Amino acid sequence: MTNSSNSLIWLASASPRRSALLSQIGVAHTVRPVDIDESQRPGELPLDYVRRLAIAKAEALWSQLDVQERAPVLGSDTTVALGNDVLGKPRDRDDAMRILRRLSARTHQVYTAVAVRHPQGCDCRVSVSDVSMRALREEEIAAYWESGEPGDKAGAYGIQGLAALFIERIDGSYSGIVGLPLFETGELLRMAGWSIGKAAVQVGVSA
């Protein structure tokens, strides 16, 4: 697959949320997910974990591109953590219920790393946000699972959906919690040659 003539970058992610956030800031892009091992290493801290995966995704796609296809590649990864305990995507209903019970009435952290691979190397930034969740009733957790929303999301919830009703407070980057911290993303793209002037021209161009 060849990068669209209108695209500025490759997005090494299948996440529709990340694609939408890039479009929000006028970054035309072509989606091309990569398949890497996302297992956490023994003793690996949440920040190190998301940083490693974001870089690995960007590098994996860069290595797959022909020379004439090469444009900046963006890789990203998000995880939810309680302390140093990573809470990934739920395996099933019981796992989602367990995760949400743990998050209930507590403040947890959302780590999102973004990496941009370009001809000079790979740069990475990590956004860390505190998210305070109100106490959840058992029937709410069950109903939320039945909505279908938590199944593919780290921490078994999506702040941009129904779970917004559960969140009392955030301290950090809302877009980072959704899946792509736009401040850090903009800084990395600027380092790779992008500018907000290009964004003004590209707004409205489909990914």
pLDDT digits (tens, 9 = 90+) for 74-125: 999 999 999 999 999 999 999 999 999 999 999 999 999 999 999 999 999 9
The tokens describing 75, both together, are 């890789």
Which CATH number is 9-202's, of 3.40.50.720, 3.30.720.110, 3.30.428.10, 3.90.950.10? 3.90.950.10
Residue 8, pLDDT score: 84
Model confidence band, residue 162 (pLDDT cutoffs 50, 70, 90): very high
Residue 194, pLDDT score: 82
Describe the crossing of helices 93-103 and 138-146 by its angle, rounded to 10 degrees: 130
From CA 20, how far away is CA 89, in angstroms rounded? Answer: 21
The answer to whether residues 174 and 183 touch, using CB atoms and an 8 Å cutoff, is no
CA distances to 55, 91, 134, 178 from 182, rounded to whole Å, are 17, 29, 26, 10
- The mean per-residue pLDDT over the stretch 141-160 comes to 95
- Active-site annotation, residues: 77
Q: Would you kindly state where each structural domain of the chain is located, as residue ranges?
A: 9-202
Its pTM stands at 0.89
